[in-house]
Structure 1
Amino acid sequence: PLRELAPLISVLPVEGGLLGLSAILASQAESVCDAFAELFTLDPVVEKEEWCRITGRKK
């Protein structure tokens, strides 16, 4: 669902605004990052067990 919602979510923060996505399955983290990478500078993914947190800043 987050991949499909990326275009909608991406218009909400202003330039320099923060993005925080949590409870992402580790197996899906790369594809979620790919969906947001065009409009956000993403931080390294934080992983704990099978869960991830993805953060970044709007370009």
Structure 2
Amino acid sequence: MSPATLDEFRRAGKVLSVRHGGRWMYSVRDLDSYISGLETYAEYTARMKRAS
């Protein structure tokens, strides 16, 4: 996962992060729970097909 993506997650309040020196430290548990909550590509495709 790219730092830019992590930064977007942090700004959106989706993951907890702590400023540590000059870097952001992320809670792996928060990232895992966020990622497991995302719909899979197959679910996304099915939803798009239903919508069209």
Fold-level similarity (TM above 0.5): no
**More helix per residue:** 2
Task: Identify which of structures 1 and 2 has the higher relative contact order when contacts are C-alpha pairs closer than 8 Å and 6+ apart.
Answer: 1
Name the TM-score, length of structure 1 as normaliser.
0.29
Higher percent of residues as strand: 1
Structure exhibiting the larger radius of gyration computed from Cα positions: 2
